C-alpha cells in the first residue's frame, strides 16, 4: 500500500483536497463505465419510499431533475462492479490518515452531458469538523471522487475553495454561480484520477459545456463515531446496505461498512 507522504499531509491540510493520479487504468475506467451506463437507463421503483413519514421526501435512486445530468444513489445496491472501490489500495491509506476510523456512508455517480448547468455551492460538514491535533489530521467526513472520464475545466468538473475547510467567515454561497465564487479553483484531472477532499471544503460542480459525457463515482466516508442514520434519515436507504449485499464483501470492506450491522432499516 502506498504511504501517505509528508507532502500529501502538507497539501491536504493546506487546501483541504488532493488529486491522486492514475489510480484506475483505462481498462478499469471502461469496465466501470460499462457497468454504470445500463444502470443509468433503469427506472427504479423505489418502494422503500412508501415507508417514509408522510410529508417527507427522500432522494430516488435515479435523479434526473437537473437538465442533462443523471445521478444514481446507493451504487452497491445496483451492482457489485463498484465494490472494490470501497477499499481501493491507493485510497485506503488516505482514509486512515485523514479520517482515522473510516466508515462508508454514501455512494453515488454523476454523469453530465453537454448543457448541464452549475450545481450549487455546499459543504457536507462544518469547518469545526476538521482538526489538526496531536499531529493528526482529522476530517469527520471525506469524499473520494473517481474520475471515469476526463474532468477538464469545461467538462463539469468539481470546483472547490482551497482552504475553506478552515474558513471562519461565510458568504451566502448559494448566491454565487460556479466560478463567480471568490477563491473558486476547478479540481481537474484525467480519467483514472481520484479527487480526495474534506467535506468541510465548500464545493460545487461546474457547467458542462463540452461534448461527450463526464462520469464520476463518489464514495463518501465518515469517522466511525459519526451517527450515520441521523444525518439524513430519509436517505438512509442509500447509505445502508442489507446483509445480503454485505455478504459478498471482503473482510476489509465489511470492516469499512460495520456501522450497517448496528443500524435498523428494513429495506
Ligand atoms: O461533480 C459534480 O458536479 C459535483 C458533485 C458534488 O458537489 C457533490 O456530489 O456533492
Residue having the nearest C-alpha atom to atom 10 of ligand 1: 204
Q: Which residues contact 257 (CB under 8 A, 6 or more apart)?
A: 86, 103, 104, 241, 246, 249
Residue 189, ligand 1, Cβ within 6 A: no
For residue 68, give the C-alpha cell. Answer: 442533462
Q: Render pLDDT for 40-75 as a digit per residue (tens, 0 to 9).
A: 999 999 999 998 988 888 999 999 999 999 999 999
Closest CA to 141 of 17, 5, 57: 17
Partner residues linked to 213 by β-bridges: 113
How many whole angstroms separate alpha carbon 218 and alpha carbon 194? 10
The best mutation among 164, 177, 203 to test binding of ligand 1, ranked by most ligand atoms within 8 Å of the C-beta, falls on 203
Taking Cα atoms as reference points, which of 251, 248, 241, 252 lies closest to residue 91?
252
Nearest C-alpha to atom 7 of ligand 1 is from which residue? 204
Task: Write the residue with the smallest CA distance to atom 4 of ligand 1.
Answer: 205
Provide CB contacts within 8 A for 134, sequence distance 6+.
none
Supply the residue whose CA is at minimum distance from atom 5 of ligand 1.
205
Percentage of the chain beyond pLDDT 90 is 93
pTM of the shown model: 0.97
Query: Structural domains in the chain?
Result: 6-42+59-261 (2.60.120.620)
**For residue 203, with 0-12 CB atoms within 10 Å meaning exposed, 13-18 middle and 19 or more buried, which class applies?**
buried
Amino acid at each position: 500500500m502506498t504511504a501517505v507522504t509528508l507532502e500529501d499531509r502538507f497539501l491536504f491540510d493546506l487546501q483541504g483536497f488532493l488529486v491522486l493520479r492514475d489510480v484506475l487504468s483505462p481498462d478499469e475506467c471502461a469496465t466501470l463505465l460499462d457497468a454504470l451506463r445500463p444502470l443509468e437507463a433503469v427506472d427504479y421503483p423505489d418502494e422503500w419510499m412508501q415507508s417514509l413519514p408522510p410529508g417527507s421526501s427522500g432522494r430516488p435512486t435515479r435523479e434526473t431533475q437537473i437538465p442533462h445530468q443523471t445521478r444514481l444513489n446507493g451504487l452497491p445496491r445496483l451492482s457489485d462492479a463498484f465494490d472494490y472501490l470501497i477499499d481501493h489500495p491507493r485510497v485506503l491509506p488516505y482514509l486512515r490518515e485523514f479520517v482515522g476510523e473510516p466508515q462508508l456512508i454514501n455512494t453515488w455517480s454523476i454523469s453530465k452531458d453537454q448543457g448541464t448547468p452549475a450545481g450549487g455551492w455546499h459543504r457536507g460538514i462544518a469547518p469545526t469538523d476538521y482538526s489538526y491535533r496531536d499531529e493528526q489530521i482529522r476530517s469527520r467526513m471525506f469524499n473520494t471522487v473517481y474520475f471515469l472520464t476526463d474532468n477538464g475545466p469545461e467538462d463539469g468538473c468539481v470546483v472547490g475553495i482551497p482552504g475553506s475547510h478552515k474558513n471562519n467567515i461565510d458568504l451566502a454561497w448559494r448566491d454565487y454561480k460556479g466560478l463567480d465564487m471568490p477563491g473558486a479553483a476547478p479540481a481537474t484531472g484525467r480519467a483514472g484520477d481520484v479527487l480526495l477532499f474534506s467535506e468541510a471544503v465548500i464545493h460545487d460542480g461546474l457547467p458542462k459545456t463540452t461534448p461527450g459525457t463526464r462520469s464520476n463515482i463518489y464514495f463518501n466516508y465518515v469517522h466511525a463515531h459519526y451517527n450515520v442514520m441521523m444525518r439524513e434519515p430519509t436517505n438512509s436507504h442509500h447509505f445502508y446496505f442489507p446483509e445480503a449485499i454485505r455478504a459478498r464483501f471482503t473482510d476489509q470492506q465489511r470492516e469499512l461498512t460495520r456501522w450497517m450491522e448496528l443500524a435498523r432499516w428494513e429495506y
